[in-house]
A and B are shown apart, each in its own frame.
Chain A
Amino acid sequence: MTTVAPVALRRKVELTIDGEAVTAHEGTTVLEACRAAGIEVPTLCYLETLAPVNVCRVCVVEVEGSRALVPSCSRPVAPGMVVRTGTDRVRTSRRMVLELLASSVDLSTAGGDVHRWIEEYEAQPDRHGPAAGPTVRDGAHAGHHEAPEVGLAATVAQTVKRDNNQYVRDYAKCILCYKCVEACGEEAQNTFAIAVAGRGFDARISTEFDVGLPDSACVYCGNCIAVCPTGALMFVSEHDLRARDEWDEDRQTVTRTVCPYCGVGCNLELHVQDNRIVKVTSPLDHDVTSGNLCVKGRFGFEFAQGDGQ
Chain B
Amino acid sequence: MFGAGGGTSSYREIEETDLIVLWGSNAREAHPIFFHHLLKGLRRGARMYAVDPRRSTSAQWADVWLGIDVGSDIALANTVAREIIASGLVDTEFVRRATTGFQEFADSVEPFTLAEGERLTGVPGEVIADLAHAYAKAGRAQLCWTLGITEHHTATDNVLALCNLSLLTGHVGRFGSGLVPLRGQNNVQGGGDMGALPNKFPGFQDVEDDEIRSRFDARWGATVPPTRGWHLSQMFEAMERGDLRALYVLGENPAQSEADDHHTVQLLEGLDHLVVQDIFLTKTAQLAQVVLPAAVAAFESEGTVTSSERRVQRLRPALRPPEGARDDIEIIGELARRLGRDWGHPSAEEVWDECRSLSPMHAGMRYDRLEVLGGIQWPCPDEDHPGTLFLHGRLWEDDPAKRGRPAPFSPVRFEPPLDELTEEFPVRLTTGRRLDSFNTGVQSGGYASPLRRPETLDLSPEDMDALGVAEGDPVQVTSRRGSITVPVHLDRSLRPGLAFMTLHFPDQADTNVLTLDTWDPKSGTAEFKATAVRVDRLPRSAAAVPAGDAARVPDGTADGTEAGNGTEPGEVAQVGGTATVG
A residues neighboring B (CB under 8 Å): 1-6, 164-166, 186, 188-190, 213-214, 218-221, 253, 255-268, 270, 272, 275-277, 286-290, 292-297, 299-306, 308-309
Which residue of A1, A261, A308 is within 8 Å of B379 (Cβ)? A1
Which residue of B186, B375, B451 is within 8 Å of A262 (Cβ)? B186
Q: Are A299 and B318 in contact (CB under 8 A)?
A: no
CB A166 to nearest CB in B, in angstroms, measures 6
A288–B390 Cα distance when bound, in Å, is 15
Which residue of B33, B279, B388 is within 8 Å of A289 (Cβ)? B33
Q: A220-B436, A257-B298, A257-B299 are in contact. Are A265 and B319 (CB under 8 A)?
A: no
Given the complex, which residues of A lie within 8 Å of B13, measured CB to CB? Answer: 5
Q: A1-B388, A277-B319, A295-B451 are in contact. Are A260 and B443 (CB under 8 A)?
A: yes
Q: Are A263 and B391 in contact (CB under 8 A)?
A: no
Which residue of A164, A256, A259, A288 is within 8 Å of B450 (Cβ)? A164
Could you list 9 A-B pairs, sorted by A, with CB under 8 Å? A190-B36, A258-B313, A261-B185, A268-B298, A277-B299, A288-B11, A303-B296, A303-B443, A305-B319
Q: A166-B450, A294-B33 are in contact. Are A261 and B438 (CB under 8 A)?
A: yes
Which residue of A1, A5, A256, A270 is within 8 Å of B175 (Cβ)? A5
Given the complex, which residues of B lie within 8 Å of A165, measured CB to CB? Answer: 448, 450
Q: A257-B298, A265-B186 are in contact. Are A303 and B446 (CB under 8 A)?
A: yes
Interface digits, B444-465 against A, CB 8 Å rule (1 contact, 0 not)? 1111111100000000000000
CB B178 to nearest CB in A, in angstroms, measures 11
CB A218 to nearest CB in B, in angstroms, measures 8
Q: Are B318 and A255 in contact (CB under 8 A)?
A: yes
Instruction: Using CB atoms, name the residue of chain B closest to A256.
Output: B316
A190–B450 Cα distance when bound, in Å, is 19
Instruction: Using CB atoms, name the residue of chain A closest to B317.
Output: A255
Does more than half of chain A's interface fall in helix, strand or loop, or is it mixed? loop
Q: A220-B449, A262-B30 are in contact. Are A255 and B183 (CB under 8 A)?
A: no
Given the complex, which residues of A lie within 8 Å of B300, measured CB to CB? Answer: 304
CB B308 to nearest CB in A, in angstroms, measures 5
Choose among B36, B297, B391, B447 the residue with the greatest number of A CB atoms under 10 Å from its CB. Answer: B36
CB A21 to nearest CB in B, in angstroms, measures 32
Choose among B183, B316, B379, B443 the residue with the greatest number of A CB atoms under 10 Å from its CB. Answer: B443
**Is B1 an interface residue when CB atoms closer than 8 A count as contact?**
no
Which residue of A189, A257, A270, A309 is within 8 Å of B36 (Cβ)? A189
Given the complex, which residues of A lie within 8 Å of B184, measured CB to CB? Answer: 262-263
Q: Are B36 and A3 in contact (CB under 8 A)?
A: no
Given the complex, which residues of B lie within 8 Å of A292, measured CB to CB? Answer: 33, 36
Which residue of A253, A266, A286, A308 is within 8 Å of B318 (Cβ)? A253
A309–B291 Cα distance when bound, in Å, is 13
Q: Are A260 and B319 in contact (CB under 8 A)?
A: no
CB A271 to nearest CB in B, in angstroms, measures 9
Given the complex, which residues of A lie within 8 Å of B296, measured CB to CB? Answer: 260, 303-304, 309
Q: Are A263 and B311 in contact (CB under 8 A)?
A: no
Given the complex, which residues of B lie within 8 Å of A299, measured CB to CB? Answer: 447, 449
A288–B11 Cα distance when bound, in Å, is 7
Q: Are B318 and A277 in contact (CB under 8 A)?
A: yes
CB A1 to nearest CB in B, in angstroms, measures 6
Which residue of A266, A272, A308 is within 8 Å of B33 (Cβ)? A266
Given the complex, which residues of B lie within 8 Å of A272, measured CB to CB? Answer: 318-319
Q: A260-B298, A300-B447 are in contact. Are A265 and B318 (CB under 8 A)?
A: no
CB B205 to nearest CB in A, in angstroms, measures 17
A263–B25 Cα distance when bound, in Å, is 13
Q: Are A258 and B450 in contact (CB under 8 A)?
A: no
Does more than half of chain B's interface fall in helix, strand or loop, or is it mixed? loop
CB A233 to nearest CB in B, in angstroms, measures 14
Interface residues on B, range: 35 or more
Q: A4-B389, A257-B318 are in contact. Are A263 and B188 (CB under 8 A)?
A: yes
Given the complex, which residues of B lie within 8 Å of A218, measured CB to CB? Answer: 450
Q: Are B33 and A264 in contact (CB under 8 A)?
A: yes
Given the complex, which residues of A lie within 8 Å of B390, measured CB to CB? Answer: 3
Q: Are A262 and B389 in contact (CB under 8 A)?
A: no
Q: A267-B313, A302-B447 are in contact. Are A260 and B186 (CB under 8 A)?
A: yes
A213–B449 Cα distance when bound, in Å, is 13
Given the complex, which residues of A lie within 8 Å of B11, measured CB to CB? Answer: 264, 287-288
A258–B303 Cα distance when bound, in Å, is 10
A5–B174 Cα distance when bound, in Å, is 9
Given the complex, which residues of B lie within 8 Å of A219, measured CB to CB? Answer: 435, 451
Known interface pairs A272-B318, A296-B444; 11 further A-B residue pairs with C-beta atoms within 8 A, sorted by A's residue number: A165-B448, A188-B36, A220-B450, A258-B313, A258-B315, A263-B31, A263-B187, A265-B186, A265-B375, A272-B319, A286-B374
Interface digits, B179-199 against A, CB 8 Å rule (1 contact, 0 not)? 000111111110000000000
**Is B34 an interface residue when CB atoms closer than 8 A count as contact?**
yes
**Is B273 an interface residue when CB atoms closer than 8 A count as contact?**
no
Which residue of B297, B306, B307 is within 8 Å of A288 (Cβ)? B307
Q: Are A213 and B305 in contact (CB under 8 A)?
A: no
Given the complex, which residues of B lie within 8 Å of A258, measured CB to CB? Answer: 186, 298, 305, 307, 313-315
Q: Are B298 and A259 in contact (CB under 8 A)?
A: yes
CB A207 to nearest CB in B, in angstroms, measures 13
Q: A165-B450, A262-B184 are in contact. Are A1 and B444 (CB under 8 A)?
A: no
**Is B385 an interface residue when CB atoms closer than 8 A count as contact?**
yes
Q: Are A265 and B298 in contact (CB under 8 A)?
A: no
Q: Are B436 and A288 in contact (CB under 8 A)?
A: no
Given the complex, which residues of B lie within 8 Å of A295, measured CB to CB? Answer: 435-436, 449, 451
Q: Are B388 and A2 in contact (CB under 8 A)?
A: yes
Which residue of B187, B319, B444 is within 8 Å of A275 (Cβ)? B319
